[in-house]
Structure 1
Amino acid sequence: MRRAAKADDNQPVIVKSFRQLGWTVAHTHMIGRGFPDTVVSKQLPSGLKFTAVIEIKDGAKPKSSQALTPDEVVWREAWQGEYKIINSIEAVLEYHDWVMKKF
């Protein structure tokens, strides 16, 4: 029997940070089997709509505890779209700035 997927402790603040920056966030951590924790999207000033899958790791934990699981590694390697690992509010801000400058 498959174990229920559990959200990282910092997921609520990560999600709140994305939403405060104007992103739409869909929770997907319960899908399991390596699927990332959230899907985020944002309409950019250019009119483009940008979507990414976000794997949330708890930056307060040791680096060894933030490693991807084997299922997450397989999923990431097969994914052909935008994929990002986020572990803090600062990482959300950096990613937001990167997206806004790039697109």
Structure 2
Amino acid sequence: MPKQIDHNQPEIVAALRAAGATVQHLHEVGKGCPDLLVGFRGVNYLLEIKNPNTKGKLTPAEAGWHLMWCGSSMIVNSIDEALAAIGALA
């Protein structure tokens, strides 16, 4: 069963794209994989989107994925956090 997206994901994706980023949805990969692969100014970012109204806790699968991943990944709750994560805020 595909993972459902957090309610704030569409607005975060729209803001990232408006800032000039490319965005690939990964939420259907499942198994704890982050929600988005974002490319911005030649750098790739993995973003896990969390809904701030639900305390944004990671599922056990997500927590396990983040522990085993040897690269960087970030958890964001808002447009500002997502833009800051990719360096798009001045």
Output the TM-score relative to the length of structure 1.
0.78
Give the number of equivalent residue pairs: 90
Q: Structure 1 stretches of 5 or more lacking a match?
A: 44-48
Task: Please point out which of 43, 46, 53 is paired with 1:50.
Answer: 43
Q: 2:42 aligned with 1:40, yes or no?
A: no
Shift of 1:94: 2.3
Structure number with bigger Rg: 1
Percent identity for Structure 1 against Structure 2: 37
Deviations 1:23-76, CA, capped at 9 Å, x for gaps:
110001011110110100112xxxxx21111100012x132xx11011001100
Output the TM-score relative to the length of structure 2.
0.89
Shift >4 Å, 4+ stretches: none
RMSD of aligned Cα (Å): 1.8
Distance 1:62 1:100, change over 3 A: closer
